[in-house]
Amino acid sequence: MGAPGATVPGPLPPYPPTVIKTLEGFKGGEPITNEELLTSDVDVLLPAALENVITSKNARNIKAKIICEGANGPTTAGADSILVEKEIFVVPDILANAGGVTVSYFEWVQGLDNYFWDAKRVQDELQKVMERSFDAVNAKADEADCDYRTAAYTIAISRVAEACRLKGLFP
């Protein structure tokens, strides 16, 4: 809800999800449709809830300069090629929302060792992994002259292929 660039006049009241399901009636802005939200004149668009919301039908109308995919698979293949053509910088889901899976891995490793990190160490380790991952994708995109999604998939497929080569396909 609310016009792009609208500011919230102070803290929002508590949001009890069992009682209130939407922001309908919120006095700090005007309602807009999902389509209006996706095609708003914004610098950064963060589709963070549903798959396939950026499609070949709406991709040409997206005005954002950057799309950071917080959801899994928010952009269809048809839309992806349009965004590349429009030179919209897309941080793909495989990179943008990898933090949760990475922290889950950290929890697993800590559980194996029965040695648990404090929150600062988790954040520091996550920062290192995410920066290293972003740098690798950026370097691959530059090297291959491709978009970030293609670069991220190229790296992922190369890692799986190398693991199979080293370990064998059927251990």
Q: In this structure, what token pair is assigned to residue 150?
A: 């293609």
Give the integer Cα–Cα distance in Å for 65 and 76. Answer: 18
What is the full per-residue pLDDT of the chain (171 aa) written as tens digits? 445 566 656 666 665 556 656 777 777 788 889 999 999 999 999 999 999 999 999 999 999 999 999 999 999 999 999 999 999 999 999 999 999 999 999 999 999 999 999 999 999 999 999 999 999 999 999 999 999 999 999 999 999 999 988 988 775
Domain ranges for the chain, please list them: 31-97, 99-171
Cβ 77 vs Cβ 55: under 8 Å = no
CATH superfamily of 31-97: NAD(P)-binding Rossmann-like Domain (3.40.50.720)
pTM of this prediction exceeds 0.85: no
